[in-house]
Structure 1
Amino acid sequence: MMNTPRSDIALVTGASSGIGYAAAHALRTAGYRVFGTSRRPGAKGPDGVTMLACDVTDDVSVAQLVEQVLREGGRIDLLVNNAGIGLFGGAEESSVPQVQSLFDVNVFGVIRMTNAVLPGMRHRGAGRIINLSSAYGFIPAPCFALYAATKHAVEGYSQSLDHELRAFGVRVMVVQPTYTRTAFDDNLVTPDRLLGAYDAVRGSMKQVAAEALQQGDTPEIVAATILKAATDKAPKLRYPAGKLARRVSLLRRFVPEAGFDRSLRKMLRLPV
């Protein structure tokens, strides 16, 4: 992995905790000048990282953020779209407005940030954009159907965008974690119209997720994958983060669909 000159500028959204915090720290240690964001003004980030307030659901907030980074840093070489929220429950249990709010952060927030940095990257003929996806961006996810839908959207957007931008010297890639030991799962949004019909599967999936999190990857493992994607001399589209993500990715590609379906339901303790 090549060492990056200190002059390279990285912008990491959602850098006040979890994967974003670890990624900002890893990039700073590797020599980047790092700007991190949080929705809360005054949030603390890693040492040496300049923290700025930004709401990725607000066009004005995003524009002001990018303008400030360009004023202070001169350019943006790397954007890490990490900010996101989760939603746990049966897909039927969420109203359309709640789903729209989820997409506004996880999908349209990525698009807002990307559109804001692209003019500068295209003008310079260089840049990288790393979007945080998930293993749920390529496998089924009971009780995470709506969250998974946002990650599938990010995957499709990133793959197509990468082909659009290569002629300008800009690359787009996704990092795909599985269960990661952060506060993300403690802060999952609850559906706004809970239905008793889903109590059993919701309870079962909650237990499975809690057990998996105990063995989950640390944020630093995901951060190391982000750094690899940022510095890889031959960048790829997808970077599974951690052993489980790599294993599941291989299984999804090579195991017949029926066999993968049975294996997944058995792992999730669902009737086969």
Structure 2
Amino acid sequence: MTNHNLPVALVTGASSGIGRVTAKALQGAGYRVFGTSRRAASEGVEGVTMLACDVTDDESVAKLINEVLRQARRIDLLVNNAGTGLLGGAEESSIEQAKALFDVNVFGVLRVTNAVLPVMRIQKQGRIINLSSVLGLIPAPYSALYAATKHAIEGYSESLDHELRTLGIRVVLVEPAYTRTSFEENQVRADSPLDIYAAARDGMATIMRTAIEAGDVPEVVARTILEAATASAPKRRYAAGKMARKVSLLRRFVPASAFDASLRKQNGLPV
């Protein structure tokens, strides 16, 4: 029998990786959790209700929210986690490919948020957690378009939080660094590759693969999301894991020229 007194959480992109372990962590913390995947998930986390949703489709998002409300009657927490990556030089992606990336990573967040906000406004309370990245704070050679989507989410989230705070709703950013998920192998490759970038791009792919293998387990990010979800006075942003906290501090306090040189060195580029 379902307990309608439990707070209700909705996690997009919950079929694997960070989304899956976040759904599990929230369920363990006492939330009634709904998770989404682009196609109906055949196997989800025990105790989590999985629903199909394509965040690039208005009708699919509206259907999702209506179904959550039909079952649970409220939405207290939204975790916008669904997203995709893109590896390649900025010049190597067609405008169509760039638009497709933004449609998932930026406009997908806007669609789901806009669908949930009327519910939260009626409730006079709610919390929205948007998954950003350290690449929302720093440059990312050969991930320029992906970094652009995360920079966009940073500006959107901070601005939206100011708009909603007086309505009892808070918007919070969570910024992971490299995390041990299938993100790297699932990310899209640039659709118009150029020979001039090939060596550096391949080198960047190798660096990224190594960094992910040595990165945080997704449970580190899930714990940070849970902290952001339950804090009575949430911070504007939460760096998830030691590497993310280090990058955040360095970006704020290291002189720009020194940061620039360090970033190029770490990414295998001539200083």
- What is the TM-score of this pair, normalised by structure 2? 0.97
Q: Which amino acid aligns with 1:15?
A: A
2:264 match: 265
- Matches of 1:6 and 1:206, distance apart in 2: 47
More displaced, 256-265 or 12-21? 256-265
1:115 match: 114
Q: Which amino acid aligns with 2:59?
A: V
- Matches of 1:39 and 1:175, distance apart in 2: 22
2:168 match: 169
Q: Please say if residues 87 and 143 of structure 2, whose CA atoms lie closer than 8 Å, have aligned partners that are also in contact.
A: yes
* 3-state SS in 2 of match to 1:52: strand
- Give the deviation of 1:43 after TM superposition: 3.5
2:20 match: 21
- Give the deviation of 1:118 after TM superposition: 0.3
Structure 1 residues 109 and 43, CA gap change in structure 2 (3 angstroms): farther
- Give the deviation of 1:6 after TM superposition: 6.1
Q: Which amino acid aligns with 2:107?
A: F
Provide runs of 4+ in structure 1 moved above 3 Å: none
2:243 match: 244
Deviations 1:142-170 (A, max 9, x none): 11000000000000000000000001000
Q: Please say if residues 15 and 41 of structure 2, whose CA atoms lie closer than 8 Å, have aligned partners that are also in contact.
A: no
2:180 match: 181
- Counterparts of 1:1-272 in structure 2, within 5 Å, are 7-272=6-271
- Give the deviation of 1:202 after TM superposition: 0.4
Structure 1 residues 152 and 43, CA gap change in structure 2 (3 angstroms): farther
* 3-state SS in 2 of match to 1:136: helix
- Give the deviation of 1:130 after TM superposition: 0.3
* 3-state SS in 2 of match to 1:226: helix
- Give the deviation of 1:234 after TM superposition: 1.6
- Matches of 1:148 and 1:176, distance apart in 2: 12
Q: Please say if residues 6 and 33 of structure 1, whose CA atoms lie closer than 8 Å, have aligned partners that are also in contact.
A: no
- Give the deviation of 1:134 after TM superposition: 0.4
Deviations 1:40-76 (A, max 9, x none): 1234221100000000000000001001101101100
* 3-state SS in 1 of match to 2:222: helix
- Give the deviation of 1:129 after TM superposition: 0.2
Q: Please say if residues 14 and 37 of structure 1, whose CA atoms lie closer than 8 Å, have aligned partners that are also in contact.
A: yes
- Matches of 1:173 and 1:146, distance apart in 2: 22
- Matches of 2:36 and 2:117, distance apart in 1: 18
- Give the deviation of 1:217 after TM superposition: 0.4
- Structure 2 spans left out of the alignment, 5+ residues: none
* CA-based RMSD: 1.0
* 3-state SS in 1 of match to 2:139: coil
- Give the deviation of 1:192 after TM superposition: 1.0
Q: Which amino acid aligns with 2:89?
A: G
**Paired positions, count:** 268
Q: Please say if residues 75 and 120 of structure 1, whose CA atoms lie closer than 8 Å, have aligned partners that are also in contact.
A: yes
Deviations 1:92-151 (A, max 9, x none): 000001100000000000000000000111111100000000000000101100000000
